[in-house]
């Protein structure tokens, strides 16, 4: 089985098609971490399952559990349990509006040259 993951700095995202695949990948990933001398930080590790029931991933030997959350932000993108991107799209629209409203005082100021406005 191939472990499908996306990595960026110290963030990692695993992609699984079902809970059993996720369990398998979790075990394999923890084994690889141990080979490399790394440890999984359980305090900040969470998982989201799109369309699945809420249940935690138990670690072997009672070492803890990885909590299930209904949404998670990975590299600035909100991933939700229902797989709906509407909230993410609305957040981005609102952030864009906020940025434009902050620039309006410069863009509409008659005392600011067109060259300066173009640079902004």
Give the model's pLDDT for residue 93.
94
User: How would you classify the pairing of strands 65-68 and 71-74?
Assistant: unpaired
| Ordered strands of the 65-68 beta sheet | 46-47, 65-68, 57-58
Give the model's pLDDT for residue 78.
81
Least Cα distance to 48 among 14, 71, 16 occurs for: 71
Segments of the chain with pLDDT less than 70? 1-9, 52
Determine contact, residues 50/74, Cβ cutoff 8 Å.
Answer: no
Tell me the three state secondary structure of residue 9.
coil
Task: Give dist(CA 52, CA 54) in Å, integer.
Answer: 7
Domain extents in the chain: 4-84
The pTM for the full model equals 0.56
- What tens digit of pLDDT does each residue of 38-72 get? 887 878 888 877 776 777 888 877 778 888 888 88
The residue assigned the tokens 């141990």 is 34
């Amino acid at each position: 089985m191939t472990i499908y993951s996306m990595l960026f700095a110290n963030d990692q995202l695993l992609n699984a098609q079902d809970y059993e695949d996720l369990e398998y990948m979790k075990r394999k990933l923890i084994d690889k971490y141990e080979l490399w001398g790394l440890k999984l930080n359980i305090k900040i590790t969470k998982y989201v399952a799109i369309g699945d029931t809420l249940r935690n991933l138990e670690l072997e030997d009672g070492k803890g559990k990885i909590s299930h959350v209904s949404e998670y932000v990975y590299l600035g993108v909100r991933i939700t349990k229902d797989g709906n991107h509407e909230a993410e799209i609305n957040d981005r629209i609102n952030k864009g509006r906020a940025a434009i409203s902050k620039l309006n005082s410069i863009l509409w100021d008659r005392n600011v040259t067109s060259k300066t406005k173009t640079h902004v």
